Amino acid sequence: MLEFIFLFLIVAAGTGGELCVSHAMKTLGEVHDFSPSALLEFVWRAARVGWMWIGIAFMTLAFFSLLAMLSMENVSFVVPVTALSYAAGAIGATLFLREKIGTQRWLGVLVVCIGVTLVWLSRR
Amino acid sequence: MKDSPGLHLKTYIFLLFIVLFAPLGNVLLGKGMKSIGSARDWEPQELLNILVRIFTSGYIWLGIACLLAFFVAYMLVLTWADYSYVQPASAFSYLVVAVLGLWLLGEKVNLLRWTGIAVICLGVFIVGHTHPRTTEKT
């Protein structure tokens, strides 16, 4: 039961956090200058976006849930099962970020999920 | 919609960072947490002790460093590429996790798991042939 709770937290909080961070990044615009000072300035600008901190809070929750699950199960089991976030991510990106996902990319996401399921089944 | 020069090349370079640092971080965290052990009673004192052991573990800090490197690369790539493109493309991490699990942790990877990883790579290939950005620049 605990594994399911932690898995839910990893997937839901992790995906939610990444969507928030992605939303924050899109408001900052594309990075062209990769010099240390420009990157530092970019991090400073990112730290002033509210969505960034909400995303970090969600991702922190997901991180400690991951640690808890890693203390119970092997890495080769934990990492594949967390790929449930692929489906959640694609749906979330469509709904919240308004990304236009074409048929080919949906197919790719589906194939990735099938592969992840096979990896998960290989545990037994 | 106009691309900046070398958009695809830049995207692939950052995806490489993502698929290297994330699995290495997870493997190091896994090794650290296995040595720490899981909570039995979930009492506050026990959880506090585990928390102290987590933050004094070298493997955990190395894992966190790798995940931070992954996170920075991930943040940067999301400034120009779609989340729904970056997330599936990072599925190559499973291949790296399996290889690292085999080499560093001595985990047994059976045929079904390798098949699953191959299918994941196929999915990544399909995703990789779509345009990195579907929304207008802001």
Summarize the confidence of residues A23-46 as an average pLDDT: 82
Contact B29, B54 (CB under 8 A): no
Tokens representing A29 are 């615009």
Cβ neighbours around A43 below 10 Å, total: 12
Tokens representing B20 are 């290297």
B29 CA to centre of own chain: 12
Reported ipTM exceeds the 0.90 cut: no
Task: Calculate the average pLDDT of chain B.
Answer: 82
**Could B123 and A114 be called an inter-chain contact, meaning their C-beta atoms sit closer than 8 Å?**
yes
Q: For position B87, what pLDDT does the model report? A: 66
Q: How confident is the model over B6-49, as pLDDT tens digits?
A: 778 888 888 888 888 999 999 999 899 988 988 888 888 888 99
**Could B83 and A22 be called an inter-chain contact, meaning their C-beta atoms sit closer than 8 Å?**
yes
Tokens representing A22 are 């992605």
Q: For position A81, what pLDDT does the model report? A: 73
- What's the start-to-end Cα distance of chain B, in Å? 12
* A70 touches B: beta carbon within 8 Å: yes
> Which one has a higher pLDDT value, A52 or B138?
A52
> Which one has a higher pLDDT value, B21 or B86?
B21
Q: How confident is the model over A43-97, as pLDDT tens digits?
A: 888 888 899 999 999 999 999 999 998 888 878 778 877 777 777 777 887 887 7
Q: How confident is the model over B97-128, as pLDDT tens digits?
A: 888 888 888 888 888 888 887 887 787 777 76
Q: For position B3, what pLDDT does the model report? A: 59
Q: How far apart are CA A90 and CA A70, in angstroms?
A: 25
Q: For position A79, what pLDDT does the model report? A: 83
Nearest alpha-carbon partner for A120 in A86, A90, A71: A86
Q: Is the pLDDT of residue B132 over 70?
A: no
Q: For position A121, what pLDDT does the model report? A: 84
Tokens representing B68 are 């931070």
| pTM (2 d.p.) | 0.73
The three-class DSSP label of residue A98 is coil
Q: How far apart are CA B35 and CA B23, in angstroms?
A: 18
Q: How far apart are CA A104 and CA A87, in angstroms?
A: 15
A84 to chain B: closest CA residue: B88
* B69 touches A: beta carbon within 8 Å: no
**Could B83 and A115 be called an inter-chain contact, meaning their C-beta atoms sit closer than 8 Å?**
no
Q: For position A30, what pLDDT does the model report? A: 76
- Smallest CA–CA distance, residue A2 to chain B, in Å, is 11
Backbone angles phi, psi at A98, to 5 degrees: 55, 35
Q: How confident is the model over B49-68, as pLDDT tens digits?
A: 999 999 999 999 999 999 88
Q: Is the pLDDT of residue A13 over 90?
A: yes
> Which one has a higher pLDDT value, B107 or A124?
B107
Q: How far apart are CA A8 and CA A18, in angstroms?
A: 15
Nearest alpha-carbon partner for A68 in B90, B42, B94, B19: B42
* A26 touches B: beta carbon within 8 Å: yes
Summarize the confidence of residues A7-32 as an average pLDDT: 86
Q: What percent of chain B has pLDDT over 90?
A: 21
Q: For position B138, what pLDDT does the model report? A: 46
**Could A93 and B98 be called an inter-chain contact, meaning their C-beta atoms sit closer than 8 Å?**
no
**Could A115 and B116 be called an inter-chain contact, meaning their C-beta atoms sit closer than 8 Å?**
yes
